[in-house]
Amino acid sequence: MKKLILGLLLLPVCAFGIDTADCADATKLATLYQVRAMMLRNSASYDVDNFIDKKLDELRVPLDGGGFRYVRWVRPSRDPQYDKRGHTVVAVQGTASDNFESSGNNAFAVRVAVPGKRSLFSGNNAVYVGTVHVRYTIEGRERTKDEAINNWMNPDTTRTIDLGTIADHVEVSLDSSTSQKNSKQALVEIHILKAVAQDDPANPNADTITSLKRIRNTLTPEIIDDEIASLEPGDSFPLYRFVSELRRADTLMRSKKEEDQQNGDKLLKDTLRRLR
């Protein structure tokens, strides 16, 4: 019986004849019942978290070209995460230069860094940085930005190039060299500073997404039941009524009384008949 209820919850909720205005609440209720059903089956927390993550992606509406319709990228309010690529400089300043590249997605800035150390136990040395070439795309349109540093950068210093937007993709290259005595003893890095994904409040299922994120790391039956109860659905809410009647039919059919079993069987058939 539990498998039957769970199977019904997997159907598109608006197929139950729910008005468009109620679809978001119906989706939220159905999703919460799916999570609750998994917990009743004693599913591992990893499986429940994995289901929630997949459901979140589904509710964000995946796009054919990658990404999601209802996710926007914004600058982080705190220190950003970044993709890092390092290069050990070989070229000697005045005679040659090394060129190395890095790339990343959803970036708002590029940072050139000469870290304080090359490794846990080895200090770093100064690097001469020439021109930084940045090529980035926004909604399919390509732009370029070159920044001529043309100066020595000492260990534990950085230089940031703000793109002034959130780029879908960015490619960076720079010219570098060092002194003859520090060849192969100097490290320079390119950092791709990442924007953060933010759920778009315009998503019709934004409330469901908020609930799923709220319960994901605190999975207890009580918390999920509180989320379900907050909807306060009435008799006019078809999905809630179907699920309630299926659960009542299940309870009656498990009774030791023959009369209850017959009533449960009748309730189950009547409920399923209305779904046709």
List the one residue out of 159, 216, 238 whose CA is nearest residue 39. 216
Answer with the one of 173, 197, 221 that is the final residue of a domain. Answer: 197
Q: Domain range for residue 180?
A: 74-197
Answer with the one of 197, 222, 239 that is the final residue of a domain. Answer: 197
Answer with the one of 159, 176, 197 that is the final residue of a domain. Answer: 197
Same structural domain, 174 and 130:
yes
Mean pLDDT by 10 residues, the chain (276 residues): 49 47 69 76 75 91 87 92 96 96 96 96 96 95 96 98 96 97 97 95 90 80 72 54 67 83 82 60
pLDDT in tens, 231-255: 655 544 555 566 667 667 767 877 8
Same structural domain, 89 and 139:
yes
